[in-house]
């Protein structure tokens, strides 16, 4: 008789858990894992340390180690005055690429550059990964919110003027978190010579570490990163309906659910398979991690994986309420938001669900983790758990993201 490999693995994990429980000891320190937060799945997580916050178990909820969030923070930045900026006749154009985790950083850099140069910023389009895959900004984001938030900060044009074409635009590469010195040395001379420029942000490293605010540029960057982008109403409705469905499925855990950034195609990439230190976690490892820290089979889990994959079956064996978008998106929304030829809608949905879930777990280290963490910190949703393969049962507090436990994320520079 054939034996289902999942049953073998499930049996092994169950036996392993009983052995762990039988040999449970109090641990004062867990092994650490590190991260450089690169945009690709290569690289490692930061040191895992216990948060210095007081964490209180929510009343009336017993099915898992659910915790209270932190305080909702307030912006520390001051909106710049338009009279303080220089003025010029030129334009700055750019495109949003690679998904929302990149968009927030691309917006911040473009606004900082346009403000410094006194140029008019042209509302960006959104480019997909396939040639010709281009969308209007308003297909995903709220145009009026964006325009209103930047009023008095930079001049803004909703459309690129007809007299400007690719031929008379100088393409300038801009490092993420661009500084005034870099603009003065490498961008301003080109702008002065050409009059109009097109920005292309690149990420030499994914640096989301906290810095001490140094002036107007940092205030502009904070405001642009955290105060400009919101989903347009129709996309927002889809996200809200999916979250509502997840909370309905989570009645036994007080309506709370976990989101996990776990994409099979990323796990299969070279960076995940050949990293010298742990930067990616498989469905089996995530299942064991959740069991280890006390979540039971009634826990509801949302995965960023686009469609169900057989490799996820082992996670569903332990946690039957595990879903991808196709399992919780309303049927009438799937044609446009799930079955379209572009993945831009799916990326936006994942980013915002992970930003609003009760707990977020990055199975992959990278920019998605870093910028979801920033959005969550800004809204007080600090339950971000970084997984680790540590023997024995453990408290979820041991795995609080160092972005939170060390308060070293850029968001802590922008909010207080």
Could you tell me the CA-to-CA distances from 229 to 140, 391, 401 in Å, in that order?
A: 10, 41, 24
Distance CA 134, CA 97 (A): 10
Q: What is the pLDDT of residues 190-241, one digit of tens each?
A: 999 998 999 999 998 777 888 776 678 889 999 999 999 999 999 999 999 9
| Rounded CA separation 360/47 (Å) | 17
Q: Give residue-wise pLDDT tens across range 22-37.
A: 333 332 222 223 333 3
Residues 100/124, Cβ–Cβ less than 8 Å: no
Q: At what angle do helices 367-378 and 100-117 cross, to 10 degrees?
A: 70
Helix (H) or strand (E) holding 136, with range, is none
In 3D space, the residue among 306, 310, 256 whose CA is nearest the CA of residue 284 turns out to be 310
Q: Which residue has the tokens 């006390």?
A: 294
Digits of tens for pLDDT over the chain (416 positions)?
Answer: 555 555 545 554 454 444 343 333 332 222 223 333 333 443 445 433 333 333 333 444 446 788 888 777 888 888 776 656 667 789 999 999 999 999 999 999 999 999 999 999 999 999 987 777 889 999 999 999 999 999 999 999 999 888 887 777 899 999 999 999 999 999 999 999 998 999 999 998 777 888 776 678 889 999 999 999 999 999 999 999 999 999 999 999 999 999 999 999 888 886 787 665 688 999 999 999 999 999 999 999 999 998 999 999 999 999 999 999 999 999 999 999 998 778 899 999 999 999 999 999 999 999 999 999 999 999 999 999 999 887 778 888 899 999 999 999 999 999 98
Among the listed residues 294, 293, 287, the one whose alpha carbon sits nearest the alpha carbon of residue 313:
287
pTM of the model: 0.83
Contacts of 54 (CB under 8 A, 6+ apart): none
- Distance separating alpha carbons of residues 201 and 182, to the nearest angstrom: 13
DSSP-derived secondary structure for 212-231? ---SHHHHHHHHHHHHS--B
Q: In what order do the strands lie in the sheet with 125-127?
A: 95-97, 125-127, 134-135
Q: How many CB atoms lie within 10 A of CB 350?
A: 27
Rounded distance, CA 177 to CA 35, Å?
19
DSSP string across 143-201:
HHHHHHHTTTTSEEESS--TT--GGG-EEEEEESS--HHHIIIIIHHHHHHHSEEEEEE
């Amino acid at each position: 008789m054939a034996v289902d490999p999942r049953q073998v693995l499930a049996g092994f994990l169950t036996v392993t858990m009983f052995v762990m429980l039988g040999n449970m000891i109090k641990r004062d320190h867990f092994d650490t894992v590190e991260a450089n937060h690169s945009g690709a799945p290569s690289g490692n997580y930061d040191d895992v340390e216990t948060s210095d916050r007081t964490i209180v178990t929510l009343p009336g909820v017993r099915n898992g180690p659910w915790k209270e969030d932190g305080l909702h923070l307030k912006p520390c930045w001051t909106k710049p005055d338009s009279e303080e900026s220089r003025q010029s006749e030129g334009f700055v154009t750019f495109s949003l690429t690679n998904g929302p985790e990149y968009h927030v950083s691309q917006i911040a850099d473009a606004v900082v550059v346009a403000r410094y140069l006194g140029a008019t910023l042209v509302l960006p389009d959104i480019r997909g990964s396939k040639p010709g895959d281009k969308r209007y900004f308003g297909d995903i984001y709220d145009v009026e919110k964006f325009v209103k938030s930047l009023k008095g900060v930079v001049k803004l044009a909703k459309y690129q003027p007809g007299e400007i074409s690719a031929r008379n635009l100088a393409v300038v590469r801009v490092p993420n978190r661009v500084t005034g010195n870099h603009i003065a040395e490498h961008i301003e001379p080109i702008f002065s010579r050409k009059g109009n420029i097109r920005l292309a942000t690149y990420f030499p490293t994914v640096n989301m570490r906290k810095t001490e605010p140094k002036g107007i540029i940092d205030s502009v960057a904070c405001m642009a990163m955290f105060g400009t982008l919101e989903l347009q109403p129709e996309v927002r409705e889809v996200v809200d309906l999916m979250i509502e469905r997840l909370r309905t499925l989570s009645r036994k855990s007080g309506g709370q659910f976990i989101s996990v950034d776990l994409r099979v195609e990323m796990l299969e990439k070279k960076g995940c398979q050949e990293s010298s230190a742990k930067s990616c976690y498989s469905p089996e490892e995530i299942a064991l991690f959740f069991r280890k820290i006390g979540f039971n089979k009634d826990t509801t889990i949302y995965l960023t994986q686009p469609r169900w994959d057989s490799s996820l079956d082992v996670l569903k064996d332990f946690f039957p309420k595990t879903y991808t978008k196709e399992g919780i998106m309303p049927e009438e929304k799937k044609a446009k938001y799930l079955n379209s030829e572009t993945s831009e809608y799916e990326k936006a949905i994942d980013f915002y669900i992970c930003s609003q879930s009760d707990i977020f777990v990055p199975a992959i280290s990278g920019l998605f983790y870093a910028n979801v963490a920033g959005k969550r910190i800004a809204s007080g949703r600090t339950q971000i758990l970084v997984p680790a393969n540590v023997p024995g049962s453990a408290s979820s507090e041991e795995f609080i993201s160092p972005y939170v436990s060390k308060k070293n994320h850029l968001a802590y520079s922008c909010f207080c």
